[in-house]
Structure 1
Amino acid sequence: MKPIRDAHLSEPGLVVVDIAAADDDTALAFQAALAARWATATADRTTRDPGEAGVRLRCYLDLRQQPPP
């Protein structure tokens, strides 16, 4: 995963979530569950590390905002 920079967390209430899952469907489903609760900058694909099992995904949450209804 790429390092988390100060700009990602410039204010209280901003969260960077790194997801590790066995497969794409699981990672994307978890991201969708987060997006249903908080304003979320979602990713449209996962990444794989060569030689490592599973997938990774990073998304950004703003706990100060509710998602649109």
Structure 2
Amino acid sequence: MRQINDAHVAEPGLAVVEVATADDQTAFALQEVLATRWATAMADRTTRVPGEPGVRLRCYLDRHRTAGRWLYP
């Protein structure tokens, strides 16, 4: 995964959420739950690390914005 940019967490309320799960379905389900509450820049794919179990997904959220408004297009 790419480095976390300082702009992603430049002020209180901005967060980078990285999820490690057993499968894609679980990762995307958790992302959907986050997006129902906060503005979330959703990931469209997961990543796999060779030799490690499971998948990872990273999304960005702004807890000051309501769901449905994207932080990053």
TM norm structure 2 = 0.87
Match of 1:22 in 2: 22
Write 1 or 2 for the structure with the bigger share of strand. Answer: 2
Task: Kindly provide the amino acid, as one letter, of the partner of residue 26 in structure 1.
Answer: T
Unaligned runs of 5+ in 2: 69-73
Q: CA deviation at 1:49?
A: 0.2
Match of 2:31 in 1: 31
The separation in 2 between residues aligned to 1:63 and 1:36, in whole angstroms, is 11
SS at match of 1:20: strand
Write 1 or 2 for the structure with the bigger share of helix. Answer: 1
User: What does 1:39-50 align with in structure 2 at a 5 Å threshold?
Assistant: 39-50=39-50
Q: CA deviation at 1:28?
A: 0.3
More divergent stretch after superposition (51-60 vs 7-16): 7-16
SS at match of 1:65: strand
How much is the aligned-residue C-alpha RMSD, in angstroms?
A: 0.9
TM norm structure 1 = 0.92
The alignment-based identity, stated in percent, is 65
Q: CA deviation at 1:67?
A: 1.1
SS at match of 2:67: coil
The separation in 2 between residues aligned to 1:28 and 1:4, in whole angstroms, is 20
